[in-house]
Amino acid sequence: SGLAELDARITGCRACPRLVAWREEVARTKRAAFAEWTYWGRPVPGFGPADASLLIVGLAPAAHGGNRTGRMFTGDRSGDVLYAALHDVGLASRGTAVSADDGLELYGVRITSPVHCAPPANRPTPGERDACRPWMISELELLRPTLRAVVVLGAFGWQAVLPALAGAGWDVPRPRPAFKHGARIMLDGRPRPLDVFGCFHVSQRNTFTGRLTPAMVRDVLRTAAEAAGL
Ligand code: SF4
């Protein structure tokens, strides 16, 4: 499909020198616990079916998670929380994600991020975010025929995805709506409006402190799945 081609092109991207250097250095030096792994060390493309009606948008791959396994949120603590919740609400075939060939399937859901390469300290620069935006616009355009809802995890993703949605032709109000957990905005567009949901990011910073509980993640996913007709 067009989306598979896009994913293949993304994995070859070297547009951000700082991120190329970091993702490759992490892949070389590894973490002791993963010494046996051959790290992916490249941009991590979106994961999930090309006819998804729900898109989940994170921030960027984790150095020893997606950057190691080559699949979104796979092999890290954020992913543990996200995939458990997806499985609990019936959107994933299993509640754990360990490697790109673990057999995990998503039902009607695709997961992507506005920055496809692992950044130092999980913090991409605004320039890196902007450099990666054309990939997200292309992904949104390819998903357009079936896309009905988007869940955005965290303020960084929110600020990155609204301009991308505008770039892909949805009608994003100005000033742009602010991020908050529980935010829900409806964007006009073709072939149908898009329901966009805000949710705190599933990072350890939020989940270990109880700012974001598994029940809160399930609630957002359930509401969004319903909006997406899943
Ligand atoms: Fe390319 Fe995006 Fe990675 Fe930058 S972050 S190198 S634009 S894939």
* Substitution candidate for ligand 1 out of 9, 13, 156 with most atoms within 8 A of CB: 13
| Ligand 1 centroid distance, CA of 124 (Å) | 10
Computed over every residue of the chain, the mean pLDDT equals 97
pLDDT in tens, 15-40: 999 999 999 999 999 999 999 999 99
Q: Which residues line ligand 1 (CB under 6 A)?
A: 10, 13-16, 19-20, 43, 115-117, 128, 131-132, 135
| Ligand 1 centroid distance, CA of 112 (Å) | 13
Whether complex ipTM tops 0.90 = yes
Domains recognised in the chain with CATH numbers: 2-227 (3.40.470.10)
Q: What is the average per-residue pLDDT within 217-229?
A: 98
Q: Give the residue whose CA is nearest to atom 7 of ligand 1.
A: 132
Beta strands in the chain (DSSP E): 54-57, 109-112, 149-153, 184-187, 194-199
Question: Is the pLDDT reported for residue 1 higher than 90?
Answer: no
pTM for the full predicted model: 0.97
pLDDT in tens, 100-125: 999 999 999 999 999 999 999 999 99
| Ligand 1 centroid distance, CA of 134 (Å) | 10
DSSP assignment, residue 20?
H
Give the percent of the chain with pLDDT over 90: 100
What is the three-state SS of 100-158?
CCCCCCECCEEEECCCCCCCHHHCCCHHHHHHHHHHHHHHHHHHCCCCCEEEEECHHHH
pLDDT at 47: 98
Classified as helix, coil or strand, 181 is: coil
What residues form DSSP beta bridges with 171?
188
pLDDT in tens, 63-101: 999 999 999 999 999 999 999 999 999 999 999 999 999
